[in-house]
């Protein structure tokens, strides 16, 4: 039997593998970036790559030429800068590395600040102030008490017992009666309905503040809330001895109350939509333009290129650094232009495909998939997805995300599919135009759509109606 031995050996072997160029990742990131993100990215590139420069408008170029003539004595020796590893001399203050500070939005006062201000105005002792602060801290952004008073007390008393361990003076535990009293005070604060434990109590607090305790609306919310929620007008009319129309009038008044009073003081988001593309109609034709006037226009720095052209004077790290930065600058300019052209190709195809939408409205939106666009512009589907994700377009009909124009389709009798988004718009219009005393059932909507050539199931209509936030026919019925 042979003696097995351990050792190292080299064997030739052929293998196929795919490696993604790092610049390909960067190109995909550029496609994915919305306009504002791309703007910040290019500003950083301008700071880090000396071979990149801005293309200024003609007026600014003339001003720069005049300033250059006036300050000829202070001209920078670019050759010296390159040879010395980009250690800037001369007017150092103008060329040394600067930090870029993004403006930070100032935080505004929120609901809890507003409630605490009102609490501080009350003549309360420190004990009540502490309990009031704890209750306010458990109110959610919609204005409701997010837990029971028992849980509030358990948390507060537990904290006090732990913090006072070992101290001589002990604070008496808070009681449920104290919590009820403080909550009743807070429920008198603005906005009306704050601190409620459920929707019913929230509506009752608002009716109380309106001094409508003897009204029909208060009696319905107080004693027959389930019937109100389920629109049982006949039962309510028999219970109160009035006509169903009077009950419905009271329900309309209740519907005007705010079911989420805390949202009035919720901090508004700082998200701004700047369209990446603009579609304009000129002489009965739709044209697509880039909305990138605020985007830095990049070009290769002429001063650095002239010095870098003489490669014999650079060696070692300087030569490698210059080659790397110059290639990176050239690639960045090409990648930005490729991004612009790709976005124009995608949007031009969308405009051609969805012309009826731009002419007549959302009901005429046609089904469209990423694959169809990708095949038309001869690119991969993932590329189209990156181009359309997070991007917006300004059109004669408003500002839309590019994803708005993509949706599945439903078949029709005349052979051309219709967009699911268009069908939802059609359902909404049918409901808006219906007789409120005889609202359209889901089956009635199916019959109308089938008469228009659209093949659709009743459950699909019900699904679209739920997505639109439209109640069922029974709940929409008026008397």
CATH code assigned at 459: 1.10.10.60
In a domain, 81, yes or no: no
Higher pLDDT, 442 or 65: 442
* Length of the chain in terms of residues written: 479
Residues 130 and 192 in one domain: yes
Query: pLDDT grade, residue 219 (50/70/90)?
Result: very high
In a domain, 237, yes or no: yes
Segment 50-56 mean pLDDT: 69
What is the structure's pLDDT at 196?
94
Query: pLDDT grade, residue 163 (50/70/90)?
Result: low
In a domain, 62, yes or no: no
pTM: 0.61
What is the structure's pLDDT at 273?
78
Residues of the chain above pLDDT 70, percent = 74
Query: pLDDT grade, residue 131 (50/70/90)?
Result: very high
What is the structure's pLDDT at 16?
62
Query: pLDDT grade, residue 416 (50/70/90)?
Result: low
Query: CA 179: distance to chain centroid?
Result: 39
In a domain, 332, yes or no: yes
Query: pLDDT grade, residue 91 (50/70/90)?
Result: very low
Residues 313 and 393 in one domain: yes
Residues 332 and 441 in one domain: no
Q: Which of 263, 285, 306 is the last residue in one of the domains?
A: 263
Instruction: Tell me how far apart the alpha carbons of residues 189 and 366 are, in angstroms, rounded to a whole number.
Output: 51
Boundaries of domain holding 155: 111-161+173-263
In a domain, 421, yes or no: yes
In a domain, 339, yes or no: yes
In a domain, 86, yes or no: no
In a domain, 124, yes or no: yes
Residues 422 and 462 in one domain: yes
Residues 384 and 415 in one domain: no
Residues 365 and 301 in one domain: yes
Q: Which of 263, 288, 310 is the last residue in one of the domains?
A: 263
Residues 255 and 362 in one domain: no
Q: Which of 263, 283, 312 is the last residue in one of the domains?
A: 263
Residues 205 and 177 in one domain: yes
Residues 334 and 395 in one domain: yes
Q: How many distinct structural domains can be found in the chain?
A: 3
Residues 412 and 372 in one domain: no
What is the structure's pLDDT at 267?
59
Residues 123 and 143 in one domain: yes
- Angle, helices 381-388 vs 316-353, to 10°: value is 90
Residues 471 and 449 in one domain: yes
Segment 176-186 mean pLDDT: 94
């Amino acid at each position: 039997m042979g003696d097995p031995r351990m050792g190292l050996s080299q064997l030739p072997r052929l293998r196929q593998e795919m490696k993604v160029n790092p610049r390909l990742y960067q190109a995909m990131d550029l496609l994915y970036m919305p306009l504002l993100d791309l703007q910040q990215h290019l500003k950083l590139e301008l700071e880090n790559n000396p071979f990149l420069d801005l293309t200024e408008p003609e007026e600014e170029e003339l001003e720069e030429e005049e300033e250059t003539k006036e300050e000829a004595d202070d001209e920078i020796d670019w050759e010296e800068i390159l040879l010395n590893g980009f250690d800037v001399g001369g007017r150092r203050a103008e060329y040394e590395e600067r930090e870029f500070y993004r403006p930070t939005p100032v935080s505004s006062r929120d609901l809890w600040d507003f409630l605490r201000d009102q609490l501080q105005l009350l003549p309360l002792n420190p004990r009540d102030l502490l309990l009031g602060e704890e209750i306010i801290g458990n109110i959610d952004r919609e204005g409701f008490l997010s837990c029971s008073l028992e849980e509030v007390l358990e948390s507060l008393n537990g904290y006090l017992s732990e913090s006072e361990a070992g101290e001589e003076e002990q604070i008496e535990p808070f009681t449920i009666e104290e919590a009820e009293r403080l909550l009743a005070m807070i429920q008198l604060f603005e906005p009306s309905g704050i601190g409620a434990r459920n929707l019913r109590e929230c509506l009752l607090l608002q009716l109380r503040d309106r001094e409508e305790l003897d009204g029909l609306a208060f009696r319905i919310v107080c004693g027959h809330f389930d019937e109100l929620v389920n629109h049982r007008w006949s039962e309510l009319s028999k219970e109160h001895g009035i006509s169903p129309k009077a009950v419905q009038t009271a329900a309309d008044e209740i519907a005007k109350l705010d079911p989420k009073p805390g949202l009035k003081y919720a901090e508004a988001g700082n998200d701004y939509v700047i369209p990446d593309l603009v579609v304009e109609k000129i002489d009965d034709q739709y044209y697509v333009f880039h909305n990138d006037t605020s985007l830095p226009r990049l070009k290769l720095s002429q001063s650095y290129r002239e010095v870098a052209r003489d490669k014999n004077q650079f060696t070692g790290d300087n030569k490698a650094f210059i080659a790397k930065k110059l290639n990176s600058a050239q690639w960045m300019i090409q990648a930005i232009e490729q991004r612009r052209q790709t976005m124009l190709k995608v949007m031009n195809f969308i405009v051609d495909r969805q012309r009826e939408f731009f002419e007549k409205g959302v009901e005429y939106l046609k089904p469209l998939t990423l694959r169809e666009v990708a095949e038309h512009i001869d690119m991969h589907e993932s590329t189209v997805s990156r181009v359309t994700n997070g991007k917006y377009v300004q059109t004669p009909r408003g500002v839309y995300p590019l994803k708005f124009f993509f949706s599945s389709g439903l078949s029709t009798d005349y052979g051309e599919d219709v967009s699911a988004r268009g069908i939802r718009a059609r359902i909404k219009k049918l409901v808006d135009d219906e007789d409120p005393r005889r609202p359209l059932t889901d089956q009635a909507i199916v019959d109308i759509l089938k008469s228009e050539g659209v093949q659709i199931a009743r459950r699909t209509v019900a699904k679209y109606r739920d997505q639109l936030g439209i109640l069922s026919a029974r709940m929409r019925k008026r008397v």
